[in-house]
Structure 1
Amino acid sequence: MDWMAWTWPTAAFFGTIATLLVIFTILAIKFPETPRVGVLGIETTRGDRLFITLLGSAFINLAWLGLVGANQALALVVCLIFAAIVFRWV
């Protein structure tokens, strides 16, 4: 991985996203769902909620870096809470 100048946390991040995409693809095949309308007032599926969660988590982490600093462990907790909220109510 040295030729790409990646660190192990970066590789773990992209590996996690790839794993999530595979899991959500398998879930979509095994358990098809109909879109539901949540608090945003738009129809969303599991994939839509995953995208909203990933996008929101990116903004949470950027805001955390700008306001708090490099201690991202607590930002992960905030992102997990955000993900639970999105998958429950959006």
Structure 2
Amino acid sequence: MDWMAWTTPTAVFFIIIACTLVVFTVLAIKFPEVPRVGILRTETTRGDRLFITLLGSAFINLAWLGVVGANQPYALIVCLIYAAAVFRWA
């Protein structure tokens, strides 16, 4: 893996994403998904809500980096609140 500039935070990020995908796959097998209609009146499954959460979190982090610059761990708190809202109401 010398061809990439792997740092510890980057490796941890990708490991967490991979573990999340494995957990969601196991959940989908063990507890079949039933689409539900959320606040936006669109049917979503667990996987859809995960994708929306990951995409939104990327934008939150980019906006945080552009506006605040530093203190990125506080962006994680905002992302966790956003994820809880998406999984609850979307």
TM-score range, shorter chain: over 0.9
Query: What is aligned with 1:22?
Result: 22
% of aligned pairs identical?
79
Q: What's the TM-score, normalizing by structure 1?
A: 0.96
Paired residues for 1:67-82 under 5 Å: 67-82=67-82
RMSD: 0.9
Aligned mates of 2:8, 2:31 — CA distance in 1? 33
> Match of 2:3, SS?
helix
What TM-score, normalized by structure 2, do the two folds share? 0.96
SS in 2 for 1:3: coil
| Per-residue deviation, 1:71 | 1.4
Q: 5+ residue gaps in structure 1?
A: none
Match in the other structure for 2:13: 13
Aligned residues: 90
Inter-partner Cα distance in structure 2 for 1:64 and 1:6: 23
The unaligned stretches of length 5 or more in structure 2 are none
Superposition map of 1:34-49 within 5 A: 34-49=34-49
Runs of 4+ in 1 over 3 A off after TM superposition: none
For residue 6 of structure 1, report the CA deviation from its aligned partner. Answer: 1.3
